[in-house]
Amino acid sequence: MAEPALKIPTHPLQDKEFLGCFLRSVKDVFEIQAGVSLKDFSPRETKLETFNEYAIGSVLPLRLGEWVGSIAICFSKDAYLEVYSKLLGETYTEINEEIQDGACELLNMIFGGAKTKLNEMGYKFEMARPFLVSSEQVHDWSTGIKVDFSLDVGSGEVFFGIQWVYQGK
């Protein structure tokens, strides 16, 4: 059986199904896997200075044909400690080297959930690994096409964003 043709829409984030795969995966990871209910999950415009509010985050670079982008998740200290504690069933009171990789693990879980459905739809992403970021290291989200979301987990705020830049001819 032949593989489906590579599907690259003009603007990936304008495809409701494409974006919906990521949003469903965010909701599933937080509510099902981590057991954290989302009090609010809404789009918002994010300015670079907003990232100073976050204690820890992770970015995963993406490549889809001639589109290059990334997904990011950033947590306030209290939100990260709540989500990670519930995910592992243990109580954590400080972000330290022992638990900081959890931000990458959570982003990988989100991407994995979205990627499964997107692969079925004909999208083929190149492999990539998430990396940790601090508020000072978050890339400027002002370039390219972007969609940002604010998630309220009760104890604090979480940022989730997707960004794409076309690098074709």
SS3 string, the chain, reads CCCCCCCCCCCHHHCHHHHHHHHHHHHHHHHHHCCCCCCEEEECCCCHHHHHHCCEEEEEEEEECCEEEEEEEEECHHHHHHHHHHHHCCCCCCCCCCCCCHHHHHHHHHHHHHHHHHHHCCCCCCCCCCEEECCCCCCCCCCCEEEEEEEECCCCEEEEEEEEEECCC
pTM: 0.85
Question: Does the pLDDT value for residue 5 go beyond 70?
Answer: no
Which structure tokens are listed for 7?
A: 């599907």
Phi/psi at 119 (nearest 5 deg)? -60, -40
Contact 113, 25 (CB under 8 A): yes
Which structure tokens are listed for 70?
A: 């990334």
pLDDT digits (tens, 9 = 90+) for 20-78: 999 999 999 999 999 998 887 877 766 555 556 788 999 999 988 888 888 999 999 99
pLDDT digits (tens, 9 = 90+) for 120-169: 998 888 888 999 987 555 555 556 777 888 888 999 889 898 888 877 76
Say which residues have a Cβ less than 8 Å from residue 137's Cβ, sequence separation at least 6.
none
Cross-strand pairs, 16? none
Question: Does the pLDDT value for residue 9 go beyond 80?
Answer: no
Domain-by-domain residue ranges, the chain?
A: 12-166
Check whether domain 12-166 has CATH 3.40.710.10, yes or no: no
